[in-house]
Every structure is written in C-alpha cells, then in structure tokens.
A and B are shown apart, each in its own frame.
Chain A
Amino acid sequence: MNLLNKSIRSYLIYAAIVLIIAIPVFYFVIQAIVKEDVDESLMAHKELILEKLEEVIDNNPFPFLSAFEPNLSISPGSTSNLYDKFYSISIFDTISNENIPYRILESNVFIKKKPYLIKFKSSLIDSKDLIQSVFLVMTALLLAIVIGLIIINKALAKKIWAPFYNTLAKLHRFKIEDKEPIQFGKTSINEFTELNNTISSLAKRNQQVYQSQKEFTENASHEMQTPLAIFQHKLELLMQTNPLSTEQAELISELADANQRINKLNKNLLLIAKIENNQFLEKEELSIKELLLKLIEQFKFRTEEKSITVQLQVENDITIEANKSLLEILFSNLLSNAIRHNYVNGKIEISINKNHLSIANTGKEECLDKNKLFQRFQKQTGENSGTGLGLEIAKKIGELYEFKIEYQFVNNLHQFNIYFQGN
C-alpha cells in the first residue's frame, strides 16, 4: 500500500465511524428537543384555555370554539380521573394531499364540576421541516470538515514526502554501471537529507567497486594476451620439432587444447568487458530472419553431424537496430548451446513471431536452474567444452539493447525466448 494512502486511511476510517454515529444521534436529539418544546407550548395553551373556558362554558361555546380554534376540540368527558396525555398522530390533509404529523395533548378536566375531554393539537409540519433543514446543514458541515481535513492532510503529506519519492525515483533509475554519482535535490527535512547522504555514499562505493572490478577483468584479460600468445607460438614451434614421439605429441595436443580453452575464455571475458563499456557503437537495421538463416547455414555442419532437425517458423520478420556482430554473437551462443546440449537425432525449433524469438531444443529432460542459468561459470551439464560464459554474454547483449531473455522448459524442450522491446 502506498505510504500516503496508508496514513490517510486511518483518518478516513475514523471520520466514517464518527459520521455514521453522529448523524442519526444528532437527528434524534433534535427531534426530542422539538417534541419537548411543542409539548410545553401545548401545556401552556391548555392553562390559558382552561381559564377562559371557565368564564364562557355556561354559554355552550363549543360550536364557536371549533370554528375559531380548529386545534381545539372539547367534548363531555368521562367521570374518571384527571389526566394529561401526549401523543403523536398523522392526519391526512386533503388540501396538501399528504399526511401531516400532529402532536396531541389530551386532557380530562373538570370545569365547574363537570368533566370534559379536551384535545389540543399542534402541527409538527414546521418543526419537521426545521429538523430536516438543521439536519441537512449539519450533515453538510460535518462532511465538509472531514473532506477538507483529508484533502489538506493528503496535500501536506504529499509535500512532506516529496523528497522521499524523489529519492525513490532516482534509485529506480540508478544503474551501477553509470559513472556519474547519484545526485539528490536539497530538502529541508533532516531525516531525508541524512537518508540521501547515506544512499549517495553507498551508491558511490558500489560504483567504485564495480568499476574497479570491471577494469581488473579487462586489464587482466589484456595482460594475459601476450603470455598466451607466447605460449601458443612456442607450442606451435614445438609441434614442428623432429623427431616427435607419440608420447610427446599427445602431451602437446593436450596442451594445445588447454591453451585454446584459455584463449576462448579470455576472449569472452574481454567481450563482456567491451559490451559493458558499450564499445559496440556501430548500429544497423537487421532482419532477425536473415541473420538466423545465415547462422543456421553456418551451423549446418554441426547439426548434420548430430542429425539434428532444425525448424524455422517465421510468422513475421522482425527488424531491429543493433550492432551486427553482437546480435550474431547472441544468436550464435543460443544456437550453439541448442546443438551442444542436444542429443543425436534431436531437434531445434526456432520461431519468430510478433516481437519475440524463441529457440527451443531437445536435451536432458529436466528443467535447468533458472536462477543460475545466466550467471558466469554456472555449468549445469557434464559438457565441458563450453566456456561457461555464453549465456552471460547473451544476457549482457540483451541488457544493452533492452531485450528480455527468458528460459523455460516446456513440452520437454529447453526454450530460450528473446523479447525485442518496442518493435
């Protein structure tokens, strides 16, 4: 979860709970207050009327009363006790065509020793409107406060955390092979300044270590070239000596093979250093299909030797801009592996479609360890003829051109997929 959302979420939950509880409570409280108020006024009204009734009751004023005081009805009461009773009812109003709530005060009183049942009623329609209005205004106000608080909080948090997000974005873009040190903007918050400084020095140290390691590999490989050449030349001269015994010849042959392997290894290490240093600047438009056809032809001897069937399926050709030698090395390494780790009468299936090339081959029927596959010197088969650098080189070339290279084991085939970005 996003940092900003996380802090705001607690506020939101709290605000929602308060609103859910406060709004109905508020409504009922107002309603109760209004009811009490109405009851009091009915009571006062009753006292007033009773005084007046005592003066006029002998003249039988009931028809007048009902004419002038529609909210008052008097009828002869029962002889039972005196009582006051409040209740609410709804009366259907034919004019406005709706139910109108009324508050009723029913009183059994004695006027001049005779019992009367008096009913006072008071319309609650105005109070109802009032309650509704007050309620609405209050709800709106509460909502406005809560929403406003959240917005302000969010904006504030965003501002406070801005340097943090800035740092995060820079770290995302950071590449250890960059020579430029990582730069952060200034921030007024001490903790962030400290964080940025720590990250800066960490990154710098890593860059230096990476750089010196890279230079070491490169320099070591270069320095090795001359003694390797001397060794190889002397060996070639040794081959020319006469007489040469079988025993000597065998030793020379083994030395020559070992020498050849060191040469290859050294060449590949240099190649990796060159790819990392981005020394293959020359680029051209290349057709993947043509390149593969050429390579399949070049590897024909090897595939025929092992009776391997090679199938090439092209749905649509892909053209990409890249260095030709590098792309050839990339595909050669994959093809070479597909042949080397194949069995006699095996097959290689190559397919090109959309933005993706797949090279699949039969071989040992078990999935290879994906985590180790692209690391240097991680040989997972008994085959010893490889340098253990082929897939690392493939990966480096992939990284250079932002191709994604993946391995999977499907249908008993070892499949390498290259996804060409943006093509």
Chain B
Amino acid sequence: MNRHTRLALLIALVVAAFALSLAAGKQWLPWAAWIGDDSRWAIVVELRVPRAILGAMLGAALGLSGAVLQGYLRNPLADPTVIGVSSCAALGAVASIVFGLGGMAGGLGQFGWAMAGAGGAMALLGLLTARAESPVIFVLAGTVLASLAGALTAFLISIAPNPYAVAEAIDWLMGALTDRGTNDVMLAAPFMVGGSLVLMTTGRALDALALGEDAARSLGANLARLRWTVVLGTGLAVGAGVAVTGVVGFVGLVVPHLLRPVFGARPSALLLPSALGGAALTLAADSLCRLAPGAGEVRLGVVMALIGAPFFLALLFREGGRQWR
C-alpha cells in the first residue's frame, strides 16, 4: 500500500468522523434529517456543522503543530502545550473573563485577548531563542512560559470578583466545542488555516534537522527562518484554536506517534497525515463527548485524554520506541 492509498484512507476516516459528528448527540440524527423538510435539519446546519468544522480545524491545527514541533525539537515529547502557546492564549482568555472584557469590540474581546496572549508568548519565545538556535533552549523557554502563564491564570482566577467568573474561567479552561457556532468558525478559521499553511512549509528543513543542526545547515537549511516559521505558524494555528475552544491537549502529542508506524518517521512525511489524523481524532472524541450519559456533555479535553492515553500506552508497549531514538 503506497503513501497515496494511505492518505486516501486517512481522508476517508476524516469524512466518516465528520459524518459521525453531524449525526451523534443527545438527539441522533439519521441521514434523512440532513436533507429536505425535516425540522431537525436546523440542528445539523445551525449547531452541528459549525461545531464539526471547528473540531476538524482544531484537530488539524493541533496534529500538524505537534508533528512540526516534534520534528523541530527532535523530541517525541513535544507538543503545542510544552512551548507555552496554549497556556498563554488561555491566560489571555481567562483575563478577559475575569475582568469582564469579553464583550469589548462587539464580542471579539475574549478571542482578541487569547490571540494577544498567544502572540505575546510567541514573540517572547522567538526573542528568547534568537541567540541560541538550540532545541533545548526552545523547550526550556517554552516550559517556563507555560508555567508562568499557568501561575498567572491561577492568580487571576483566585482574585476573580465573583464566583460566576470563576466557574466560567474554569469551565473554559477544560476545552470544549460545545455551543460553538458559525461566529467562532469565522473568527478562528483565517488564523488556523493561515498558521497551518505556514507550518506546512517546514517539511524540508525539518527533514534536514533529523541529522542535527550543523548537518542541516550544511544542507542549506535556514534555521533562523525555520524557527520564526515554527513560532509564527504554531502561534496562529494553536492560538486561534485555544481562543475559541479552550485548552485541548493530547492531540498534538499523540497523533504524530500514532501515524509514524503508518507513514514513516521522516518529519515531512508526517505533516499532512498528522493534520488529517488530528481532525479525525478530534471529531471522533467530540462525538463521544455528546454521548455521555446525563444531561450535560463531557469536556473534550477529558474525553481526549480518556481515549487517547490507553491507546497511546498500548502503542508504546507494542512499538517499544521503534519510531524514535
């Protein structure tokens, strides 16, 4: 089975997960309800289509940035959460919730604040690592940024003026696609698509980096430009994702690992598959969220970890680290 066939299968999986995401919920919607005069059609168009589009984009952005970061840092543990983008975007959003700034600029407030958080994190990360092109510095700087943003977020929640703001902030932090609508899609899509396109350009340089920094330079890779490309692409794609859905972990870490046995360990060969795989995984997990018993929904971040972790552990057990060294 060649790469094209595998990609085609992966695309089929995304389409199937998208369809499942339209059908699944407290109210199961059969095919018949998707077209024609069925009154349930509104549920599909108004609620589930935007939610599914957002889920697909979020998953693609997370999966892709995970693959790029693992390749860039040459570290199988890397994902968007370890470099601080998600935490800083979350800090921005929580600040807007706690201080009641969400309504600024016609409801753009929370999104804008989260994007500002992501942008600030990326600028700081880029500057901190500008003098030392070492992946260790990058990870250390990112980890410190993430811890700092986490502490500031906790601080903001603890000084929140009222319990409703606290509840809203904590609820938002857990990450979900619940009740996200067309507006959210329109807000986030340009950034997520733009960021993802930027990240897709990194393949050749990431491949060269597999041989180490000096060898990569000797093969003509421009490592300074690569660093800014990675920072910009991750900031836009993941920042916008976090800005509308909250923090959803695990996708970026786990998807490249799931796909390495299928598409090979070469970093560039993993970029497109990781975007597709991230979309499929997120859509499937979001469908499961809605199927949980009880009146409410389980949080996407929770479901992701619950289904992802055992699967990932099984993979580790079976592969025994064959894909990385």
A and B are interacting partners: no
Chain A residues at the B interface, C-beta cutoff of 8 Å: none
Chain B residues at the A interface, C-beta cutoff of 8 Å: none
